[in-house]
Amino acid sequence: MEMIARGASPAAKSTETQMVPRCAPRSWYAEACVVPAAKGVPACSRSPVIEHPDGLVAAPVVTLVNPFPPRRLALAPGDRVRLSTSVKAVARSWLACAYSLSLKDLRLVTVVRRADNTTRRSAPVLGSSTITTQVVVTTADDGAVVYVEASRKECPAAPTRILSTNTLETGGTILSVSTATPPLVAQDMKPPIVKGILWPPTELGKPVTLTVTATNGGGGGRLLSSATVSTNISYQWLNATRFNAAHEEWAVMDGETGPTLELKFPRPVCFASDCGRLG
């Protein structure tokens, strides 16, 4: 009688042999076979498969960099826009330490996901921190979301939707396509210039009104009544949720899309312990 042992992966020469990181977990099993001398046909038995996540390549942690894509974009059917997104990427090791991810290891793809969940995907861009895509919209694109997926070049099957912040807000642009929207003649080629935010001296705990002053010099225009008019500026107020400016986490304030923001219960910048005592 002859004994034969087989496994899912080649046997290591030493217990100290390190596994090369992979995109998917490794699966292991043991198989033992007995070959009766009389028959010469092996009879085998296999153990349950055990999955080991050790050795996985760390997924990239990808966030947007300024200027952020618009939260919403109003277009007319047939409008063509050029959407550009820039990111920074880090990876986390098994020690949960972050380190820079080389651009040569990064893949970016722009995705247009319609309300019916059908998608259009751009050609992948490799080795770059910026991806630019031309999008021509129809009425079927009303309500679609445009965003970017990032993945390691060697792991295309595990894309990660990029984030605009460390919160749940994602870096996507919602398209609003309507025949009531003046057609786009020229797209703005640079973001508006923000001159500053003003607010009057306010007593602690009293309502306060913030006003931002911005000018649009991007060169964009829309066709309105046979004349070209400058594109409007869109606004989105963000709320900082941490004190440490080096590690700010921002949350988008819902519905606050004008140049003026009214706060009924403002709170001063403070450490968490101090803010807690203020109630």
- Tell me, yes or no, whether 72 and 162 share the same domain: yes
pLDDT per residue as tens digits for the range 99-132: 556 777 788 999 999 999 999 999 999 989 899 9
- Tell me, yes or no, whether 169 and 76 share the same domain: yes
- Tell me, yes or no, whether 128 and 238 share the same domain: no
- Tell me, yes or no, whether 109 and 199 share the same domain: no
Phi, psi angles (nearest 5°) of residue 2:
-120, 135
CATH code where residue 135 lies: 2.60.40.10
Domain that holds residue 30: 2-9+19-52
pLDDT per residue as tens digits for the range 215-236: 888 889 999 988 999 888 888 8
**Residue 245, pLDDT score:** 46
- Tell me, yes or no, whether 94 and 128 share the same domain: yes
- Tell me, yes or no, whether 164 and 66 share the same domain: yes
In this structure, is residue 97 part of a structural domain? yes
pLDDT per residue as tens digits for the range 141-150: 999 999 888 8
User: What's the predicted TM-score (pTM) here?
Assistant: 0.68
In this structure, is residue 77 part of a structural domain? yes
Percent of the chain with pLDDT over 70: 70
Question: Of 181, 205, 239, which one is at a domain's C-terminal end?
Answer: 181
- Tell me, yes or no, whether 164 and 63 share the same domain: yes
More confident residue, 26 or 83: 83
In this structure, is residue 14 part of a structural domain? no
- Tell me, yes or no, whether 256 and 221 share the same domain: yes
